[in-house]
Amino acid sequence: MFKKILIANRGEIAVRVIMACRELGIKTVAVYSEDDEDSPHRRFADDHVLIGAESTDSYLNMPVIISAAESTGVDAIYPGYGFLSETTYFAEVCAARQIGFIGPDLRVARLLGDKAHARTVMGNAGLPILPGSDGLVDDVDSALRVADAIGYPVVIKPAVGAGGRGIQIVRAASELRDAWCQARQEAEAAFANGDLYIEKYLENPRHIEFQVIADHHGHVVHLGERECSIQRGHQKLVEESPSPSLTEEARHRMSSLVVAAARTIGYTNAGTFEFLVDADGRFYYMETNARLQLEHAVTEVVTGVDIVKEQIRIAAGEPLSISQEAVKPTGHAIACRVNAEDPDTFAPSPGQIDVFYVVGGPGVRVDSLACSACTISTRYDSMVAKIIAHGQTRQEAIARMRRTLEMTAVEGIKTLLPLHLAILNDPDFQAGYVNASFMDRFTSKRELRTIPETA
């Protein structure tokens, strides 16, 4: 087992990793930027290293992070999500410096790092895929030919990266040229890579993803699915597990295919296999996130499996501590992402938090970097907290989430707390009728004014 781990990330995920390491008896090193001088992850780690100011000079600065790892004598680096977790080159640098990387093997990371190539790989591994381009599409003329062949609407996607950046929906040939240029510009700006591919666009699908963990000894286990259809701008707002829309037959079929595909490609560590499901229940592979997902908490709550600790054990060469038979999901969990945004306009609302109080209580977990007198910076993600509610039934989980949000106080900045209460009170949400268009009902300012205020 590792003796000391450097966490190449910040905020709530860094604190989450510190918790897991403390339970495993592993020392931790936090890296932090000047903005994060008072961040909880710096405070709770056993050691800490200042690595710069803005994200490009700190959490994205590979040489500085590697230097911090070597100077503090760590055995491994945990990348979290975002920042360097999606950069295969960073894992290669770690390997070259003989520093463990807590994530998938390099071979698998390379295999799935290009999403256009991953479509082909996963199709060959038995997962159904949407009609689309055969690999990357190099120019607008080729894009027009592909779109004509598969039929509009289509979606243009960056081959690398995450977070929905660069994605463009095209409903007619007349729109494609501008959309193509926009997608390329956004991808280059966000990921320093303008490679694009094209898929058939599904109208109003559901977004279902399966959590997988696999070790180096041939064991592959799935931890069930998450319903992630409630999104705005391709950013997830609410997640729950299990999905209220999947039948047991569909759940068994999808999970069996996912485990078989993971085993076929030799997947290791934690990963999320994401699918789109149409109105008739047909499902199509979308992508694999070869890292921990921000929404992992709902899966941990219903299964009792600590995914972060499993990741660390796997990277250290140990076998999984659980078998598929031992995974017995219990009850239902819902997670709400409380972002620092104006609920009327969705404009960012950075600044100092004067009051931060979450009451918690039975069945409630809070993952957060926030505290009273802390500052939400414009330089980083706007999430203030993830609040996860667990109940024996979906109705109990909704009730626990509602009372928690009603008793949560965040003052000094605006947050999405009122929006989440509106979602919870929506009759379609309560009935489990959600898809990718669910948030359309909350996008007009007139409708959002009816959202109840929170304490």
Using DSSP, state whether 248 is helix, strand or coil.
Answer: helix
Question: Whats the size of the chain, residue-wise?
Answer: 455
Are 168 and 156 in contact, with CB atoms under 8 Å apart? yes
The pairing of strands 154-158 and 196-200 is antiparallel
The pairing of strands 76-78 and 4-7 is parallel
Other CB atoms within a 10 A radius of the CB of residue 210 amount to 23
Supply φ then ψ for residue 68, to 5 degrees. -65, -40
Phi-psi region for residue 274, left (φ > 0), alpha (ψ -120 to 50) or beta?
A: beta
Q: Which residues contact 242 (CB under 8 A, 6 or more apart)?
A: 224, 225, 227, 251, 302, 329, 332
Q: Comparing C-alpha atoms, which of 107, 137, 121 is closest to residue 288? A: 121
Are 132 and 200 in contact, with CB atoms under 8 Å apart? yes
Q: Is 313 marked active-site?
A: no
Q: Comparing C-alpha atoms, which of 292, 385, 297, 384 is closest to residue 333? A: 297
Among residues 184, 291, 337, 400, the one annotated as catalytic is 291
Are 410 and 356 in contact, with CB atoms under 8 Å apart? yes
Which helix or strand (DSSP H or E) is residue 166 part of? none
Other CB atoms within a 10 A radius of the CB of residue 117 amount to 16
End-to-end CA distance of the chain: 46
Positions annotated as catalytic residues are 291
